[in-house]
A and B are shown apart, each in its own frame.
Chain A
Amino acid sequence: DQQVKQNSPSLSVQEGRISILNCDYTNSMFDYFLWYKKYPAEGPTFLISISSIKDKNEDGRFTVFLNKSAKHLSLHIVPSQPGDSAVYFCAASDGGGSNYKLTFGKGTLLTVNP
């Protein structure tokens, strides 16, 4: 049972435009959400996160929105750049402490065309 779902396996956008990556989750116990960027044959790199007490977090070109009632979050990248081309993973955590766990989605391959 996939608790974190990224229903779009790929997304293609033009340089300078907005990229919107979506993520849905089913576990209402999740209270912390993260986005990671991953290049082939490399480990994921942390991008941005959001706590369930917020509905928006912004960091430069990256903004994450959380809609708790819909169990949906999205990552907005604007303006998109060719260097943003990578696989983006959404992840969720159900609590802090030393034994917290991250549950990942399957990822969305973003291609930004020059």
Chain B
Amino acid sequence: GAVVSQHPSWVICKSGTSVKIECRSLDFQATTMFWYRQFPKQSLMLMATSNEGSKATYEQGVEKDKFLINHASLTLSTLTVTSAHPEDSSFYICSADRGSNEQFFGPGTRLTVL
């Protein structure tokens, strides 16, 4: 149990376009979902925390208007990178907590902005 999926696994887009990444908890309901970003050889940096039905809490330095998070149900959260630029190219990973204070991570999405 405790499987988290992400879609797509990789995406290449042109600068200025928007990209949506989905995170799903497949076999449990996630009270809280987290979005991370990882640059090469760096640690996972928390971007935002979201609870179903409420607005996401963004970490300092993360632009909420650029990284739109929607947590519409207990099994689905989406991250939309709006007007993507090459500096947004990164590995985006979500995680989900089923209420046990233990995060289960998705496989990640590799975003490349040309």
Contacts and interface: CB of A to CB of B under 8 A. Distances in A.
A76 interface: no
A105 B110 CA distance: 20
Contact of A43 (B4, B41, B45): B4
Interface stretch (B11-19, B65-73, B77-85, B101-109): B101-109
Given A42-B108, A107-B43, A98 B32 contact: yes
Interface in A33-67: 36, 41-46, 49
Contacts of B41: 9, 106-107
Interface string B73-114: 000000000000000000101010100011111111010000
Contacts of A42: 107-108
B57 A99 contact: yes
Interface centre among A36, A44, A103 (most CB of B within 10 A): A44
B43 A89 contact: yes
Interface in A50-106: 89, 93, 96, 98-106
Contacts of B49: 99, 101
A9 B106 CA distance: 24
A4 interface: yes
Nearest to B5: A43
B104 A46 contact: yes
Contact of A41 (B51, B103, B108): B108
B62 interface: no
Given A99-B49, A101-B49, A43 B93 contact: yes
Contacts of A103: 46
B107 A46 contact: no
Given A98-B31, A99-B57, A101-B49, A43 B105 contact: yes
Interface of B: 4, 6, 9, 31-32, 34, 41-46, 49, 51, 57, 91, 93, 95, 97, 101-108, 110
16 contacts: A41-B9, A41-B108, A41-B110, A43-B93, A43-B108, A46-B105, A99-B49, A99-B57, A100-B101, A101-B46, A101-B49, A102-B34, A102-B44, A103-B46, A105-B43, A106-B43
